[in-house]
Structure 1
């Protein structure tokens, strides 16, 4: 099962279909695939935990629920189209989000894509919503909530891929995003970010049993209703490495407001993978967190996670990993969370 999951991740890294092994071939050049997750989750704190999930001390059966459908079309040689619609954790079933919809053209060692694209800042950004593709119940919020859950942009990208050797490939991809309005709920507050542009670049180095990913993003935006624009620069660095049954992952994110990182280790025992994650946030969010979990691969397309998470906050007026500062609810900055998650692909 560990080798199967590594293969899925490698396919994703090289820019292939999100659910390459599970896709349903409708015709020779048209396929459909899908994925989903849901959980039973409960914390010991009234304050909503995690942006876009808002888990509290009341047992929640839909805080992590998401479902996605992806369509892939080979138009002609080198020219492809892809679309992904996702009912995200923050969406109503009647109002899913178009997460990506793009045209791509591949020639020589280059690939050009245009449309709505996934923001390629982190190790699992390309398959963030596909819980079947990573060991944890959720990607560590210290990193993946650092840009307030933003996962896509509207624009263009150019990727250059070069084979350094038979086992090592290098991908360099600059991208540019046009203006877009994004809304984020931070507890009782609705924040609106009106971006003028988003530009960046990422570099991937992929070997037989490792991957190194680094990214840089620069964005100019206005936080409505404020009249003046601000700019944000984000730097990320991540790496994953497998050694026999061991799987190691670590990521770091830094911008003008904060610094965040995590380190994760898992060990596959047949269909079971116990794992441990330690994570920290500094400056804008002050917290340290430990996650202990166990993943069980029921089949190659269905998995279960049982997970315990403890997060300690340093400042009562700081929101740490909550959607808003817990002092609003008269609560502590410390929280413990239990989750039972199911993920699937088809």
Structure 2
């Protein structure tokens, strides 16, 4: 005989059911609030590079253990990367951000690394403080250097942007923005430290290079289509020496940059000088880029140079000249295709920013052809 269960009329049952319902509704509300607090975005690049130089690997920065040329004639790992960023609005004046980036890096094999992880507190609409890991603003495009879609080039000029291997720091920075009529001025101060592993020109890995007491100041002026910026960064380095010893060095990095972008065309450039005192020869890097926007296409050209600043005999340095021409095609929303040809001339006695260099590389000339799709989401 089929029976039908009766609903209990016990007060405790009704109360517990009500509490369960309230808990579920409350959990759903909190989940909704959490979703509203978070913004998920990201960026990436899928690209391949071919190098005509077979005695060394062309790489995009000093973090990459291999690239195109010696290891393989063409490589995906030079420019390819993918990143995930999560922004959280905790309060009206309190926010947080975490950025994870997966790319070809020494000792990591594409494992995601934490590029940013900080909390930002807006003391006033003009004055804010960030605590945690932030991009170290040594250069004009430091915060967007990895975001290919935000830049005109296939990759930032490595003669400047690979000059210093420290891309972020753990510490604090303060930013103050103020308008003077039609002029917007932003002043930024930062203090922190970091530890990196980099690859030398012969492929030797330097682990545990510490940058301590990083102290910097930058000032940016925006006036219509014109942007001008200057920055000074002081860094205390601890380098690995022979026999388990350490070499300590103080470095000063000076940077001046400017960009004029009225819309249909643009021109931009930077000058950078590094001074390591008695440890390493001083160096100067400079580049200038010009481009023209026509419908969905942007052809551009760049001249970039890194050279020594004196003739003193100190630790070896990298020196090279690059002439580049490329075109960007914004063929769909949030996606761009870029093709770039570089001619790189290495200075006599220098392997430049190539790695895994074999005998005969110094002083060579190389043609680098790259194609990549940049996207943001």
Q: 1:1-346 residue pairs with structure 2 within 5 A?
A: 27-46=35-54, 47-50=56-59, 51-53=62-64, 54-57=66-69, 58-90=73-105, 92=108, 95-108=111-124, 109-148=126-165, 150-165=166-181, 167-178=182-193, 180-186=194-200, 187-192=202-207, 193-225=209-241, 226-256=245-275, 257-283=282-308, 284-315=317-348, 317-323=349-355, 326-328=357-359, 333-346=364-377
Change (3 A) 1:140 1:301: same
Question: How many angstroms does 1:328 deviate by?
Answer: 3.5
Q: In 2, distance between residues paired with 1:271 and 1:80? A: 35
Q: In 1, distance between residues paired with 2:267 and 2:85? A: 29
Change (3 A) 1:26 1:248: farther
| TM-score, with structure 1 as normaliser | 0.87
Q: In 2, distance between residues paired with 1:331 and 1:260? A: 19
Structure 1, residues 265-292: CA drift from partner, whole Å, max 9, x if none?
0000100000000011111333221100
Q: In 2, distance between residues paired with 1:331 and 1:227? A: 28
Question: Contact conserved, 1:121 with 1:214, CA < 8 A, in 2?
Answer: no
| TM-score, with structure 2 as normaliser | 0.80
Question: Residue 142 of structure 1: SS of its match in structure 2?
Answer: helix
Consecutive unaligned residues in structure 2, runs of 5 or more: 1-32, 276-281, 309-316
Question: Contact conserved, 2:104 with 2:110, CA < 8 A, in 1?
Answer: no
Q: In 1, distance between residues paired with 2:292 and 2:110? A: 39
Q: In 2, distance between residues paired with 1:83 and 1:68? A: 10
Question: Residue 132 of structure 1: SS of its match in structure 2?
Answer: helix
Q: In 2, distance between residues paired with 1:195 and 1:170? A: 29
Q: In 1, distance between residues paired with 2:162 and 2:370? A: 18
Q: In 2, distance between residues paired with 1:276 and 1:89? A: 26
Q: In 2, distance between residues paired with 1:223 and 1:137? A: 32
Consecutive unaligned residues in structure 1, runs of 5 or more: 1-24
Question: Residue 58 of structure 2: SS of its match in structure 1?
Answer: coil
Change (3 A) 1:49 1:94: closer
What is the match of residue 20 of structure 1?
Answer: none
Change (3 A) 1:52 1:103: same
Q: In 2, distance between residues paired with 1:331 and 1:151? A: 27
Runs in 1 of length 4+ with deviation above 4 angstroms?
Answer: 91-94, 329-332
Question: Residue 275 of structure 1: SS of its match in structure 2?
Answer: strand
Structure 1, residues 101-159: CA drift from partner, whole Å, max 9, x if none?
000100222100000010101121111111000111000001100003x2100000111
Larger deviation: 220-229 or 193-202? 220-229
Question: Contact conserved, 2:347 with 2:362, CA < 8 A, in 1?
Answer: no
Question: How many angstroms does 1:319 deviate by?
Answer: 2.1
Question: Contact conserved, 1:38 with 1:66, CA < 8 A, in 2?
Answer: yes
Change (3 A) 1:253 1:323: farther
Q: In 2, distance between residues paired with 1:112 and 1:234? A: 23
Q: In 1, distance between residues paired with 2:95 and 2:369? A: 42
CA RMSD of aligned residues (A): 1.9
Question: Contact conserved, 2:116 with 2:134, CA < 8 A, in 1?
Answer: yes
Larger deviation: 226-235 or 75-84? 226-235
Question: How many angstroms does 1:94 deviate by?
Answer: 5.7
